[in-house]
Structure formats: C-alpha cells, structure tokens
Structure 1
C-alpha cells in the first residue's frame, strides 16, 4: 500500500435540513483517527493463571483541526457547529471522509464536540471538532 498525503483526505458533513446533501469542511490542516475497545475478562480457574478476555465493543473518533473560517463563513464548519449544539437523536448527524482518489467514502453517524478556539498575538484563530461514531461505519460510492 503506497503512502499518501494527509492533505489529500477530504471531510464532509451532511446538511440535516437537506438529506443527501454533503458539505465539505474547510480550513483544515490536520486530523487524527482513534480507536478504542472494551473487553470483558473471561478468565476461569481452568485458565491456569493465564488471562483470557474477549473484545465486546469497538469505538472510533476522528478529530479534525485547522483554522476558524469567517467572512464568508465556511458552510461546513457552520454545519458542524450547529450539530454540536444538538442533543439526543437530533445530535446525530452524517460525517464522511476519504482520500481524494478513493472511489467510496467511509461514512459515520456521529455526534460532535467542538474543541477550544483561540490563538496568540501572531496566530490565526484555531478550530477543531471531534466526531464520535455511533454504530458501525458504512460506505457510500463517490459521485
């Protein structure tokens, strides 16, 4: 598998008011995808002192970071902000990502948490969001 540039990965959020409409998230300069799992201990006396366990749950998160875009506002960042303010079922939205040359998207139903924004005297204002997957990933063909 050849190496590829992180900058060639595209990220989109679904517009909840227009199902099937996906909007690119701009201003990004880094991302990080993390995995977690929950296991249960299955060790018994018959294990003879050797630990045994089974994976019971898988979780995934993806954090995107970059610059806060304003005037004109980035529509993708604005949709992410709106999604971050919603609770319960309303707070679950569509998020997808893929390398620019891939033929399909990895697609999640996810809730989002906005990161801190800020900067120093000679900085541009930072922006970040963490998407936490709810349920299994799916794929969708790229048009």
Structure 2
C-alpha cells in the first residue's frame, strides 16, 4: 500500500505564450488547490425497458477544472510572482481563440507533468486590516489532457 503524499508538494506552472522559446512560469505562494475531474461532464440516459428497472448511462463528455488559491505575491525585487503576474496581466485579457493557454502540474515526487490546454478565470482578491492579500485562479480544461516527462530525466525529489 502506498504512502499518502503531502498536498503542499504539488507544482503548478503556466506557459508564457509570449516568449520566443518554451517558457513555463511557476505559480507561487499557493495555499490550496482543488482538481475536479467531473466538472462539465455530460451523460446520456441509456435506460430502456431491457434495463429491468436499473438506471443506465453513457458518458458523452468529460471535463475538468483546477482551482488554485494563495497569497498575492511579490518577489524580493518588488516585482510580482511571475506565474501570478502572467495570469493577471496577460492570460486573463485574451478572448476568443486566444483565450486558451497551457497549464501543467505534477507532484514534486512525480517524473511526469500533466498538461492541459485550458482557459483561465481570475479569482477574487481580498483582505482585511490584519490579513495578507488573497489571490486565485480557476483553469478549465479544453480537450484531452496530455503528459510529458520532466526535463533532465525526471528524477523524483
């Protein structure tokens, strides 16, 4: 039986579509995440008299979302976190066919990335007098997921 893995060990990155070469930006300062593999699922009822009173269905469409939440981050230079800044200032403002981007994610112990073509919806930002500013985003998968080995042989850490 396998050992449970820490939720804090998940890594989420977005692809910088503006960069001349393939560039992935880590989304920093995350506090929580949620992946829902049944979001946007559609089914067709296939129950007939031959079902003898038992419900039957076929899945016609699969969908999935990832929601990430954390703290609005600035690195030590005063510049914002690269992943958060790309989502907030670039990806969020793209529309139509341009609204799709790429996200990849894996646990730090895994040697394979899961890649999604996705759209992004920015999350709410808030805070009170003695709070840090919150930050978040939701990604909706578009199409079938892909996988890719971690560069450099993918030795799990």
Q: Which runs of 5+ in 2 are unaligned?
A: 152-157
Q: How many residues align?
A: 143
Q: Deviations over 1:55-77 (max 9, x none)?
A: 11111000110001132211110
Which residue is 2:120 aligned to?
A: 112
- Pairing 1:11–2:15 present: no
TM-score, with structure 2 as normaliser:
0.86
- Pairing 1:42–2:46 present: yes
What displacement does 1:130 show?
0.4
Q: Is the strand fraction higher in 1 or 2? A: 1
Which residue is 2:130 aligned to?
A: 122
Q: Which runs of 5+ in 1 are unaligned?
A: none
TM-score, with structure 1 as normaliser:
0.94
Moved more, 65-74 or 7-16: 65-74
Stretches (4+) displaced over 4 A:
none
What displacement does 1:46 show?
2.5
Of 117, 132, 141, the match for 2:140: 132
